[in-house]
Structure 1
Amino acid sequence: MDLTRETLTVAFCGPVGSGKSTLLGNFRFLTGGFDQRSLDRKFGGGEVNYAWVMDNTAEEEAAGRTLRWSSCFVETEKYLLNCVQVPESVDLLRETISGLSQADVACLVVDPHPDRFEAAIAPGGEIMRTSIILATLGINQLIVAVNKMDTVSYSETRFNDVVAQLKPVLQECGHNLNLVRFFPTVATKGENVIGSSTNMPWCKGTLAWTLLSAIDTIDSAQLPVKNASAPFRGLVVREDNQYADGTDWLVVHVEAGVLRRDQEVVFYPTHTVANPCAAKIRQIDFRHEAVSDAGPGATVVLEHSGLSKTHWPRRGDVMVIKGDTSLGPVTRFTARISVVYQDGPLAVGAVTTLYLNSAQVQVRIAKIEREFNRKTGATIAENPASIGQATGAVVVFEPLEPLTLAVFQKTCQGLGRLVLTDSKLSAAGVMNLSIGAVSNVVYG
């Protein structure tokens, strides 16, 4: 594998049943990342369910859907891809955000069938919720795969109708339409995955009409800023890995700075003076190959030593170089939030769940400093007791569980962008949801 080629992390997301697992599984197979022999062993030479390539745990096979984020590596002419697939369900929101937080670009997979598409783009629907979260996480380049085109007779009219309905939804959610690409596909048959489909001859011109061409025409200049000169910040995205030989591993996403082999690190907020959570990095694996260092954007597997089995890093912990005291456990923080949907008032004293990269923590609203108009920024009220739907606010939060975060910076976005929800659904099935960015932090 050519590790000198530019790397790109693409998250595959979309409503349940849209075919994102099938699309990624077939893309992986068609680009040589999964062998025919493995498929033959599983399916006996019969019809292949390409979703199994990604959803192959016993639990996922039994459920028939994605239950946790997973990743695979794909090589294209331009990029080395880390393809991350995420589930799409309110009860799996932590897995969704954990996977999306690693991405530079997202591939949003949608089903064009009228019975399913219109429900998914309605207020509070899966497409709108996912699009808001993508924008919140700073993922500004989207590839939209209109899948299952065979269910609408490969209709150019229906494809254009889906695109026309999606554009204002994506724009409302905060996406720049100049950075969004649309293409039609049938993932089960590999149509418009890496090669053109004869069933859709209307796919003409210079547009990127396949998944492969859409990825290879991504604008590198519009990708999230990656700051290798900043202090090292790594986010623990998997903490429960042990190989057959007994060696322990962590999966870490490098948010900023550079990690080098043999460095000593600590993990906040688990690390305290009384209960140290520190380790020495013995080996760094990137795309199944040992490397000497890892920079921003890389998701790496780390072999380590020195950790206590009784004081292990947790998912969502922030890894820093030992001696870096600029971060630590948070006692209070302030965030500028937008209330996307709230069934009833969001009041001082309320407890909600914060999702930040892979962390999931209960927080209490300690104070609402100001409520403002989201569009104009004009103040609505100072120190209100509560806020309602479709407004913005500057809010002070107190974590009820250990948490480490930082003031939002474009060069280290993963520590300062947050999603808030109690996961409660209204009578219409819409989930309470607020998004925001951290503006001040008190460590203690």
Structure 2
Amino acid sequence: MSGRFSTFSWTLPSSLIVEYDLDDDYDDDDYGRSYEDDISMSPGSAQYIRRRQTSTSHTSGNLHLGAFIPEEEPITDDHYHGEEDLFQMDDIGPPPGFPARQPPAQSTSTVVPPVISEPAPTRTFAIHQLPTPPETSSSSTFGNFTEKPVLPNVSTIRLSETASRSSSKSPSRSKTPSRLEPNSTQGALQGGTLPANQSSHRLNQLAAISSASSTPKRARKVVSDSEKDGKQLINVVVVGHVDAGKSTLMGHLLYELDYVDQRTIHKYRNESSHAGKASFAYAWVLDDTEQERARGVTMDIARTAFETATKKVVLLDAPGHKDFIPNMITGASQADAAILVINATNGEFETGFENGGQTREHAMLLRSFGISQILVAINKLDTVGWSKQRYDAIVVQIKNFLTKQAGFQSNKCTFVPVSGLDGDNLTAKVGPDHQLNQWYKGPTLLEAIDALKAPKRMAEGPLRIVITDVCKTQTNSISLAGKIESGDVMAGDKVYFMPTAVAATVKYLTSDTESQCDQMCCGEQGQFTLTGVFEPDTISTGHVIVTGGPDTLKPAKRFLVRLVVFDIQIPIMKGTRAELYCHSMCEPCTLIHLRSAINKSDGTVVKTKPRCLSRNMSGMVEIETDHEVAIEPYTVCRALGRITIRRSGNTIAVGIVEQTLA
């Protein structure tokens, strides 16, 4: 067995003995020169072979990391290839530095060997100009024949002329005027620049809306609130920390005003008692959904209306839980004044007023939405025996915060002690034997609401109706809830939904304070029934109803905002992703450029192009949303020009829109 053995066998019957030689496996293996190596490569194949340049060294003796990390340069128009260049196919030839492709020389006797010393030309069908590669050799030596282009007469499918770059930081959009001109699309569609992100059909829609004639003012009678029945309309939102008793307070107030009958309250008392929540009977007047009643918290905006001696009040009960702040923002954006409910129970006030509570955030949000009148209802004062010391301590802390931090004026802050569960000091003053009567001689809650002043309306402005809810949608009709922020509307008016530019006709109008009517004015809320052709999911909350004409709303994705930063931990930087809230709309956005940091008091520029905006700073910021939204400058429509920025469930900044950019 020593040495090399070449055969072996198994001890088997002779008929099954198999002989196997290991050397047979290597008989056909030849690692010499292949036959294919003796045949030269064809010129057609050689042009696709890349020759490495061995003379160039890719390393250096002293490697410095900074040489491989170039400084970041701003994206300019010369470095950006926008969508308008993707179809520039006038130059079908190769880019500069690339020789045109040449066919192989005609030969029948010998095979032309490949040219090893010269790189083969690259076959190019350029749609837009590519960077010029380093030139390594002269043109090919295969003749002067040029291959015909695959696409004949390419210039006939040109979609746009050479794009003229704007000075905007975002070259993917072309600058457009702040107002739509009637014939603004003709130049773009007749050989001019086609703006990115807008098809020709979209441009035609917007141009038709801007050129449409609105109803003449002389044919309309703008009826103010006081001219209807002598009472002014005011929208009041109720806010406060969770479990402050907001729904119970407002439900009991409606019961005292006979807007809820005794039978309904008796039913709610029995049902809440069986559910183990006997104290929630009045809250169920406004919390009418099963989920809200099961959880014991308000989750969405509850809207109702009542009248006082001089006012028609639309009441908006907002949720107080932190998870439902977006719904609270929607309600606050519709309000003219606010009722801030405070829980006077020992420990509960401190919990709601500290940094993690919602009392501070709600007050700041109210002021950011332009609400200047606030009524502070100190609730559940009966749990501390109607203590004057407790009441005074709460008033001092809340008043200092509202006037020194939130920005409210002292004469527009009213404090009222109440008990929502017992109904004390809601609609009538307490009796002479009541503990509250010993030290409080101020107004009741109803009297304080009646003393609120209605703000000045934009009755003469262009129509702007903010959609707050979509009630019912069909193929040819839609029923919506909303508020008229500017102008007025009548049955029969032709309107448009922005930003989708869907046309419709107003069929029915139903005000919250009245029954079906023919006309609704600025400041009123109600339901609107419109007819038209509506595709699924084309109309949603946050859209705005407008009329045609030069003053129509122009949807935008990019705008300049004057921002005020809250007390945040992580500063705002370029590229920060957040959620943008405006009226009833919520849209993801990106803070793409920090223009300047400004002084809060006088608006002077403190620093241009700051690296970040930290807590309590103010600045001019460019914001871009993921989709087009119905937003306008604050000077055009106040309600559509106030925004709130939130990130990771926290409000980080508020601001007003100075200018729409694209």
Same fold (TM over 0.5): yes
Give deviations 1:358-383, integer Å, cap 9, x for gaps.
Answer: 00011111110001243454533211
Of stretches 413-422 and 377-386 in structure 1, the one that deviates more from structure 2 is 377-386
The answer on whether the counterparts of 2:477 and 2:534 sit within 8 Å (CA) in structure 1 is no
The aligned residue for residue 437 of structure 1 is 656
The aligned residue for residue 228 of structure 1 is 459
The answer on whether the counterparts of 1:361 and 1:402 sit within 8 Å (CA) in structure 2 is no
The aligned residue for residue 425 of structure 2 is 192
Cα distance change of structure 1 residues 353 and 284 upon mapping to structure 2, 3 Å threshold: same
Q: Counterpart of 1:367 in structure 2: which amino acid? A: H
Matches within 5 A, 1:336-351: 336-351=562-577
The aligned residue for residue 251 of structure 1 is 481
Matches within 5 A, 1:237-386: 237-241=468-472, 248-271=478-501, 277-287=502-512, 288-323=514-549, 326-375=552-601, 377-386=603-612
The aligned residue for residue 427 of structure 1 is none
State how far apart, in whole Å, the 1-side matches of 2:557 and 2:268 are: 51
Q: 1:202 aligns with which of 430, 438, 462?
A: 438
Q: Counterpart of 2:436 in structure 1: which amino acid? A: M
Matches within 5 A, 1:113-128: 113-123=345-355, 125-128=357-360
Q: Counterpart of 2:437 in structure 1: which amino acid? A: P
The answer on whether the counterparts of 1:280 and 1:305 sit within 8 Å (CA) in structure 2 is yes
Cα distance change of structure 1 residues 306 and 242 upon mapping to structure 2, 3 Å threshold: closer
State how far apart, in whole Å, the 1-side matches of 2:651 and 2:249 are: 30
The answer on whether the counterparts of 2:334 and 2:483 sit within 8 Å (CA) in structure 1 is yes
The answer on whether the counterparts of 1:346 and 1:386 sit within 8 Å (CA) in structure 2 is yes
State how far apart, in whole Å, the 1-side matches of 2:487 and 2:356 are: 37
Q: 2:448 aligns with which of 198, 203, 214?
A: 214
- How far did 1:112 drift? 1.3
State how far apart, in whole Å, the 2-side matches of 1:89 and 1:42 are: 23
The answer on whether the counterparts of 2:322 and 2:358 sit within 8 Å (CA) in structure 1 is no
2:326 is aligned with 1:100: no
The answer on whether the counterparts of 1:10 and 1:107 sit within 8 Å (CA) in structure 2 is yes
What secondary structure sits across from 2:437 in the alignment?
coil
Q: Counterpart of 1:199 in structure 2: which amino acid? A: Q
- How far did 1:253 drift? 0.5
- How far did 1:132 drift? 0.7
The aligned residue for residue 640 of structure 2 is 415
The aligned residue for residue 181 of structure 1 is 414
Give deviations 1:104-156, integer Å, cap 9, x for gaps.
Answer: 11111010123121232234531110111110111111111000011111111
State how far apart, in whole Å, the 2-side matches of 1:140 and 1:423 are: 28
Could you tell me the TM-score, scaled by structure 1's length? Answer: 0.90
Q: CA RMSD in A?
A: 2.1
For the pair shown, which has the larger CA radius of gyration, 1 or 2?
Answer: 2
State how far apart, in whole Å, the 2-side matches of 1:310 and 1:34 are: 37
Q: Counterpart of 1:233 in structure 2: which amino acid? A: R
- How far did 1:204 drift? 4.1
State how far apart, in whole Å, the 2-side matches of 1:199 and 1:412 are: 48
Q: Counterpart of 1:27 in structure 2: which amino acid? A: L
With CA pairs under 8 Å and 6+ residues apart, which has the higher RCO, 1 or 2? 1
- How far did 1:41 drift? 2.5
State how far apart, in whole Å, the 1-side matches of 2:491 and 2:372 are: 32
Cα distance change of structure 1 residues 308 and 432 upon mapping to structure 2, 3 Å threshold: closer
State how far apart, in whole Å, the 2-side matches of 1:252 and 1:378 are: 38
- How far did 1:350 drift? 1.1
Cα distance change of structure 1 residues 308 and 88 upon mapping to structure 2, 3 Å threshold: same
What secondary structure sits across from 1:192 in the alignment?
coil
2:287 is aligned with 1:61: no
Q: Counterpart of 2:415 in structure 1: which amino acid? A: F
- How far did 1:345 drift? 1.9
Cα distance change of structure 1 residues 58 and 311 upon mapping to structure 2, 3 Å threshold: closer
Could you tell me the TM-score, scaled by structure 2's length? Answer: 0.61
The answer on whether the counterparts of 2:268 and 2:284 sit within 8 Å (CA) in structure 1 is no
Q: Counterpart of 2:364 in structure 1: which amino acid? A: I
2:624 is aligned with 1:391: no
Matches within 5 A, 1:133-212: 133-171=365-403, 172-197=405-430, 198-205=434-441, 207-208=442-443, 210-212=444-446
Of stretches 131-140 and 48-57 in structure 1, the one that deviates more from structure 2 is 48-57
State how far apart, in whole Å, the 2-side matches of 1:299 and 1:203 are: 40
Of stretches 56-65 and 92-101 in structure 1, the one that deviates more from structure 2 is 92-101
State how far apart, in whole Å, the 1-side matches of 2:626 and 2:292 are: 32
- How far did 1:432 drift? 4.3
Q: Counterpart of 2:647 in structure 1: which amino acid? A: D
State how far apart, in whole Å, the 2-side matches of 1:159 and 1:174 are: 22
Give deviations 1:374-420, integer Å, cap 9, x for gaps.
Answer: 345453321123211110010001111231111113x7311001110
The aligned residue for residue 105 of structure 2 is none
The answer on whether the counterparts of 2:546 and 2:552 sit within 8 Å (CA) in structure 1 is no
Give unmatched runs, 5+ long, in structure 2.
1-225
2:235 is aligned with 1:9: yes
The aligned residue for residue 129 of structure 1 is 361
Q: Counterpart of 1:83 in structure 2: which amino acid? A: L
- How far did 1:325 drift? 5.7
- How far did 1:423 drift? 3.2
Q: 2:313 aligns with which of 81, 84, 88?
A: 81
State how far apart, in whole Å, the 2-side matches of 1:299 and 1:341 are: 34
Q: Counterpart of 1:59 in structure 2: which amino acid? A: Q
- How far did 1:8 drift? 1.4
State how far apart, in whole Å, the 2-side matches of 1:334 and 1:9 are: 29
State how far apart, in whole Å, the 2-side matches of 1:324 and 1:24 are: 43
The answer on whether the counterparts of 1:343 and 1:432 sit within 8 Å (CA) in structure 2 is no
- How far did 1:21 drift? 0.3
- How far did 1:297 drift? 1.0
- How far did 1:76 drift? 1.3
State how far apart, in whole Å, the 1-side matches of 2:288 and 2:536 are: 31
Q: Counterpart of 1:379 in structure 2: which amino acid? A: V
Give deviations 1:249-291, integer Å, cap 9, x for gaps.
Answer: 10110001111111011111122xxxxx221110100125011
Cα distance change of structure 1 residues 282 and 432 upon mapping to structure 2, 3 Å threshold: closer
Give unmatched runs, 5+ long, in structure 1.
272-276, 425-430
Give deviations 1:34-84, integer Å, cap 9, x for gaps.
Answer: 111112223249766200100110110111100000111112111111111
